[in-house]
Amino acid sequence: TGFFQYIAIKAGQLSRGNPWRLLLLLAGSTAIVSLFFNNVTTVVLVGPITILITELLGINPIPILMAQALLSDTADVGTSVGDPASVLVASASGYSFTDFLTHSMPIVAVAALVTLLMLRFLFRHELAQGPTKPELVMTLDADEALQDRKTAGKVMVVLAVAIVLFMLQSPLNISSEMIALSAAAAALVWVRPNIREVLQRVDWPVLVFFMGLFVMVGGLEAAGVFEPIAEALIPLGHSNPRLLGVVIIWVVAALSALVDNVPVTIAMISLLSGLAAAGVNVSALWWAVVFGAGFGGNATKIGSGANILIVSLSEQTSQPISARLWTRRGLPVAIATCIVGSILFVIFYPWLVQ
């Protein structure tokens, strides 16, 4: 429908060419959308428009492109539907959409603020360079980018109803899966898109990949691979669960920087299930997994799908993002957010354990 492109163009025009303001608007809107949509999809749609806007303004696109990935990676674990890792944790722990809003979102919001402050410092030289052609961005027609306003309106109504149902899922005793499937079915019936085209756009290899991951981790669990690790952590889980939570944040973050956070999260679910079976209270430890999975992927360019896509998009510009550049800017952000997440986890442990 062009909805994401519409948001990007409006953000560019509101910035009036100011690089820092443009970063705030584009990265902020990407992060907000990523709370409810997969951030890879969001970046795919918004990234090319970001490059166009920066080229029209004559400013460096790298700070804004990286900010969109880093901020959305940080923020999307604030809800139970924003990131595959949070979806998996919500399913395994039984935590609802509202639980994520009340327990994960406040800490994620602080981490997102820290991310912005770090970006302001790390890209201070690039953001100090003013636009050379600020008037050109005003020539873009946001309404023209919104190709199907009627369909976009219908989808937004369905999304709003789904969000309300997510917030009421505990009193209504409805699972997240049922709400998501019902919303998708309602959108298909109301919008009536070309089903063949919809099926062609489904990322089937990713679905098969996830199926394979579940089978692989299930096999490892059945083989007892996670049992020795769980047994080694049981004493710490009983004596100092706060410390165990901090350890989990950093271990998950480090692993998520090297591989996608989905297999890491699946493995941690098996590990926490073993701890729970041994009588360890893991209710707060689920949040540690969420924070580590969300914050750690920022460290490297392969840490998340959004990072990989942003690096690929940057190759269309005169300043492609190298692995060294990403690590120099992304690793400090990952470390800072993990430190903040660890401190807040320890402080608010009594609340997280509820």
Per-residue pLDDT tens digits for 16-51: 778 899 899 889 988 988 888 777 778 877 888 888
Higher pLDDT, 17 or 255: 255
- The verdict on 41 and 94 lying in the same domain is yes
DSSP string, 135-203: TGGGGS-HHHH---HHHHHHHHHHHHHHHHHHHTHHHHT--HHHHHHHHHHHHHHHH---HHHHHHHS-
CB 227 within 8 A of CB 267: no
Structure tokens at 189: 């019936």
- The verdict on 226 and 167 lying in the same domain is no
Q: Which residue has the tokens 């795919």?
A: 44
Helix (H, G, I), strand (E, B) or coil at 41: helix
pLDDT band at 142, cuts 50/70/90? low
Query: Whole domain around residue 195: which residue ranges?
Result: 148-202
Q: What is the pLDDT of residue 286?
A: 97
- The verdict on 136 and 19 lying in the same domain is yes
- The verdict on 209 and 108 lying in the same domain is yes
Task: Show which of 135, 170, 202 is a domain's final residue.
Answer: 202
Task: Show which of 202, 228, 245 is a domain's final residue.
Answer: 202
- The verdict on 69 and 138 lying in the same domain is yes
- The verdict on 260 and 346 lying in the same domain is yes
* CA gap 3, 12 in Å, rounded: 14
Q: What is the pLDDT of residue 206?
A: 62
Task: Show which of 156, 173, 202 is a domain's final residue.
Answer: 202
- The verdict on 121 and 242 lying in the same domain is yes
Report the pLDDT averaged over residues 281-296. Answer: 95
Structure tokens at 22: 């443009």
- The verdict on 313 and 262 lying in the same domain is yes
Write the DSSP symbol of residue 129: S
pLDDT band at 90, cuts 50/70/90? very high
Give which of 264, 256, 282 is closest to 334, Cα–Cα: 256
* CA gap 117, 351 in Å, rounded: 27
* CA gap 28, 126 in Å, rounded: 19
> Which amino acid makes up residue 124?
R
Q: Between the ranges 30-34, 201-205, 241-245, 318-322, where is the mean pLDDT highest? A: 241-245
* CA gap 289, 303 in Å, rounded: 15
- The verdict on 154 and 128 lying in the same domain is no
φ, ψ at 136 (rounded to 5°): -70, -30
Q: What is the pLDDT of residue 82?
A: 85
Q: Between the ranges 10-14, 84-88, 201-205, where is the mean pLDDT highest? A: 84-88
pLDDT band at 352, cuts 50/70/90? very high
Q: What is the pLDDT of residue 120?
A: 95
* CA gap 281, 294 in Å, rounded: 22
- The verdict on 127 and 166 lying in the same domain is no
- The verdict on 52 and 98 lying in the same domain is yes
Report the pLDDT averaged over residues 69-80. Answer: 92
Q: What is the pLDDT of residue 44?
A: 78
Q: Is the pLDDT of residue 243 over 90?
A: yes
Give which of 299, 287, 281 is closest to 335, Cα–Cα: 299
- The verdict on 326 and 236 lying in the same domain is yes
* CA gap 72, 42 in Å, rounded: 9
The pLDDT tens digits of the residues spanning 184-235 come to 888 888 887 777 877 776 667 767 766 776 787 778 777 777 778 778 888 9
Q: Is the pLDDT of residue 247 over 90?
A: yes
Report the pLDDT averaged over residues 78-99. Answer: 89
Range name among 201-205, 235-239, 244-248, 284-288 with the lowest pLDDT average: 201-205
Q: Is the pLDDT of residue 73 over 70?
A: yes
pLDDT band at 69, cuts 50/70/90? very high
Cβ neighbours for 21, distance < 8 A, ≥ 6 positions apart: 14, 15
Handedness of CA 81, 262, 66, 204 (dihedral sign): negative
Q: Which residue has the tokens 């509202």?
A: 98
End-to-end CA distance of the chain: 42
Number of domains in the chain: 2
Q: Between the ranges 54-68, 96-110, 161-175, 215-229, where is the mean pLDDT highest? A: 96-110
pLDDT band at 145, cuts 50/70/90? low
pLDDT band at 152, cuts 50/70/90? confident
Structure tokens at 295: 């914050």
